[in-house]
Amino acid sequence: MKLIIAIIQPHRLEEVKKALYDADVNLITVNEVLGHGRQRGVDEFYRGSKETGNLLRKIRLEIAVNEEFVDRTVKAIIKGARTGKIGDGKIFILDLPRCIRIRTGDEGQPAIG
């Protein structure tokens, strides 16, 4: 089992969701987060005082999948999120030792789907 974490541009969320549904990946958790990569955010001004390097809004997706779903999930995220410009985001893939469905107490592979 893997936990896939992706940081994407907020305006690509709908496209990513669509690509995930098309790939039959239906279970996702979405957070709004702040961050910046190499583009270092945008300067802001309030009554003339400058605040540099401010953080930009990003969307963080968390998707827990069984091994055979990893590749298609990654492909779907890239398909939906890529614009080719700086700021498109990153995908992190982590090992997931355990997963438990609260309603039934199921554990492991069946609990994810």
Interface positions with other proteins (CB under 8 A):
9, 11, 14, 32, 34, 42-46, 55-57, 85
Residue whose CB is less far from other proteins, 1 or 16? 16
As measured in angstroms, the least distance from the Cβ of 45 to other proteins is: 5
Q: Quick check: 99 and 13 in contact, CB under 8 A?
A: no
Residue whose CB is less far from other proteins, 31 or 109? 31
Task: Determine the Cα–Cα distance for residues 41 and 93; give it in Å rounded to an integer.
Answer: 25
What are the strands of the beta sheet with 56-65, ordered from one edge?
Answer: 29-35, 56-65, 2-8, 89-95
**DSSP string across 30-79:** EEEEEE-STT--EEEEETTEEEEEEPEEEEEEEEEE-GGGHHHHHHHHHH
As measured in angstroms, the least distance from the Cβ of 78 to other proteins is: 18
As measured in angstroms, the least distance from the Cβ of 11 to other proteins is: 5
Residue whose CB is less far from other proteins, 13 or 96? 13
Residue whose CB is less far from other proteins, 24 or 51? 51
As measured in angstroms, the least distance from the Cβ of 66 to other proteins is: 32
